[in-house]
């Protein structure tokens, strides 16, 4: 990677972005500011075709003071935007019923910070706010944004989503991967047993959980031979490359017109890297598709062979149904990239952060271990998926982890497709919409019982959040979104998380390395497409009942 590309990769902080822009682009930004100001004046003269008010007032949602020429409110966004936006909303969105309008560079952006406002956007007016902003990065990486996560709302998106919900993520299909999950969990447990045998050896749980989640998705996509030729490692590298590109600096996010006029600069810092990453994805996915087609052709000629491996991987399913949904080969590849990016990061982060919170809260850790060990049949080496039905506290721990640490705290941005009146406020067509799931999960009116603390008990029977789920029905708790754009693979991901976490608690006791015992687990975050801990989670496993080893 060249020095210029390294610099581009590091420019993920909004404050650094502002400094860079001001130093290098002031002349062109002045022209852009003049154009944008004219456009804003024009937009206020237009009417509305979407209303929940009989006599709509063309009043924009409230904005914080401090709007600057050119950069708008960018200077108010810190290194952790979900936290900055939550603080800004607490001060300036109260009069807007949870809605706040920011101008991030040249882009009008509606910030949604309360359950009531989220309900209005993602249920009442979901049909207006169901699209995605255009992005060169997603066009480059996702075959022209023809995947599911980043595709604009329209017939292609509807068909692609229908395909995956009808064929890939049904309850029956998720259950069909039970044996695959069991085998992958056993591989992780074997490595942890080796570490426990070497008393006091600390394990990098962050990397281990990321590898586990990636291997689960790799197996689901390409079958049980996914480790052939190191494909699982290459998949992991490419997922990391995607995360860096989506979470890094992108001029287009703030100044789309300027980004187009400075195409040469955009290509230098982002487009070239995205194209190179896309090329590697395409070569790997083409190999997988071709391998599956050759295998299926051979099996078709020899029907008497017993060829069912019991899993029926995603690639086989997509190839068999793609024509019925109008999907091209590139569309299939785009969907597969989605599977890797979403499936790896979300599951691994939930596992890592659940373990981190349990280490910080030993009472809850002991309670979870007690439940898991009580409801796993005596003499059974590992927790089986059928045992989990009797473990409500396990599910409460997963929910509480998602409440405090939604993997994508600002979800993916939405785009208004028409002028709309939301809770009495005028939202022009083309407005970018950010739903702050992190703020929703800490909303003091919804979570009145110590919202900043890790308390899984709130989700248990009799708790203040008993019955609250993450499937888009309760707008104070939206780690996977809601409405048309809710994550279609959440059941697949949660099955992966629950079986792994249950076995980590069942098979081992856990302690911090001695160097960490005094300061504890560092929960400092780093913002990107997903938010992850700054420091690796290092833990020491030991077999239940074993004497506590000296750790390092």
Q: Which residues are within 8 A (CB) of 188 and not within 5 positions of it... i.e. 6 or more apart?
A: 208, 212, 500, 503
DSSP label of 10: H
CB 28 within 8 A of CB 262: yes
How many Å separate Cα 342 from the centre of its chain? Answer: 6
DSSP 354-372: HHHHHHH-HHHHHHHHHHH
Give the Cα separation of 152 and 137 in Å (integer). 14
Neighbours of 517 (CB within 10 A): 10
Q: Where are the alpha helices (DSSP H) in 263-420?
A: 263-266, 272-301, 314-321, 329-360, 362-374, 392-404
**Residue indicated by tokens 């969907």:** 335
On whether 86 is known to bind a ligand per the annotation, the reply is: no
CB neighbourhood size of 549 (10 A): 16
Q: Which secondary-structure segment (H or E) carries 539?
A: strand 538-542
Q: How many Cβ atoms sit within 10 Å of the Cβ of residue 178?
A: 16
Q: How far is residue 152's CA from residue 131's CA, in Å, rounded to a whole number?
A: 5
DSSP state, residue 377: P
Q: What are phi and psi of 433, to 5 degrees?
A: -125, 125
Q: Look at the alpha carbons of 312, 318, 319, 324 in this order and tell me if their dihedral is positive or negative.
A: positive
Measured CA to CA, the distance from residue 400 to residue 394 in angstroms comes to 10
Using CA atoms, how far residue 60 sits from 20, 114, 127, 336, in Å, is: 30, 17, 20, 40
- Please answer whether residues 190 and 316 qualify as being in contact, where contact means their C-beta atoms are separated by less than 8 angstroms: no
231 alpha carbon, distance to own chain's centre: 23
Measured in whole angstroms, the distance separating CA 340 from the mean position of its chain's CA atoms is 11
Q: Residue 250: which H helix or E strand, with range?
A: none
Distance of alpha carbon 200 from alpha carbon 284, whole angstroms: 40
Structure tokens at 300: 């078709």
Neighbouring CB atoms inside 10 A of 499's CB total 23
Q: Which of these, 14, 31, 7, 527, lies nearest to 258 by C-alpha position?
A: 31
Q: What is the residue whose two structure tokens read 């496993």?
A: 541
SS3 at position 178? helix
Report how far residue 249's alpha carbon sits from residue 10's, in angstroms, rounded to the nearest whole number. Answer: 8
Contact 388, 498 (CB under 8 A): yes
Q: Which residues are annotated as a binding site?
A: 487
Q: Which residues are annotated as a binding site for heme?
A: 487
């Amino acid at each position: 990677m060249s020095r210029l590309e390294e610099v581009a990769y590091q420019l993920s902080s909004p404050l650094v972005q502002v400094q860079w822009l001001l130093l290098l682009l002031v002349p062109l930004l002045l022209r852009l500011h003049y154009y944008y100001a004219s456009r804003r004046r024009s937009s206020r003269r237009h009417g509305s075709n979407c209303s929940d008010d009989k006599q709509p007032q063309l009043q924009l949602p409230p904005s914080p003071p401090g709007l600057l020429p050119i950069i708008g409110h960018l200077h108010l966004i810190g290194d952790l935007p979900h936290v900055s936006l939550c603080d800004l909303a607490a001060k300036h969105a109260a009069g807007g019923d949870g809605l706040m309008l920011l101008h991030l560079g040249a882009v009008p952006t509606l910030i949604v910070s309360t359950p009531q406002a989220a309900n209005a956007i993602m249920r009442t007016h979901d049909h207006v706010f169901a699209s995605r902003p255009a992005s060169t990065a997603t066009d480059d990486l996702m075959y022209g944004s023809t995947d599911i996560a980043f595709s604009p709302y329209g017939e292609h998106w509807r068909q692609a989503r229908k395909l995956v919900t009808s064929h890939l993520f049904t309850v029956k299909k998720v259950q069909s991967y039970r044996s695959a999950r069991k085998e992958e969990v056993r591989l992780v447990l074997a490595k942890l047993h080796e570490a426990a045998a070497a008393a006091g050896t600390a394990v990098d749980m962050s990397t281990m959980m990321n590898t586990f989640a990636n291997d689960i998705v790799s197996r689901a996509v390409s079958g049980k031979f996914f480790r052939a030729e190191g494909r699982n490692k290459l998949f992991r590298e490419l997922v990391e490359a995607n995360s860096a590109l989506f979470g890094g600096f992108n001029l287009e996010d703030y100044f789309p017109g300027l980004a187009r006029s400075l195409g040469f600069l955009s290509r230098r810092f982002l487009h070239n890297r995205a194209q190179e990453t896309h090329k590697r994805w395409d070569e790997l996915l083409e190999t997988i598709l071709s391998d599956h087609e050759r295998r299926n052709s051979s099996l078709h000629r020899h029907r008497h062979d017993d060829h069912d491996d019991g899993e029926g991987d995603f690639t086989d399913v997509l190839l068999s149904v793609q024509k019925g949904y109008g999907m091209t080969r590139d569309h299939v590849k785009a969907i597969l990239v989605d599977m890797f990016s979403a499936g790896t990061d979300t599951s691994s982060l939930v596992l890592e952060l659940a373990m981190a919170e349990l280490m910080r809260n030993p009472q809850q850790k002991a309670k979870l271990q007690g439940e898991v060990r009580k409801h796993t049949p005596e003499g059974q080496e590992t927790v089986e998926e059928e045992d989990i039905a009797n473990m409500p506290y396990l599910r409460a721990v997963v929910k509480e982890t998602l409440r405090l640490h939604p993997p994508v705290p600002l979800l993916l941005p939405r785009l208004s497709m028409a002028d709309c009146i939301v809770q009495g406020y005028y939202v022009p067509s083309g407005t970018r919409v950010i739903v702050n799931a992190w703020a929703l999960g800490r909303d003091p009116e919804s979570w009145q019982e110590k919202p900043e603390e890790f308390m899984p008990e709130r989700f248990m029977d009799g708790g203040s959040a008993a019955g609250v789920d993450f499937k888009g029905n309760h707008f104070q708790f939206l780690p996977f979104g809601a409405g048309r754009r809710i994550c279609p693979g959440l059941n697949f991901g949660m099955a992966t998380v629950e079986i792994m976490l249950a076995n980590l608690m069942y098979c081992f006791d856990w302690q911090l390395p001695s160097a960490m015992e005094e300061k504890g687990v560092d929960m400092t975050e780093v913002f990107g497409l997903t938010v992850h801990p700054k420091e690796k989670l290092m833990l020491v496993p030991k077999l239940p009942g074993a004497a506590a080893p000296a750790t390092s």
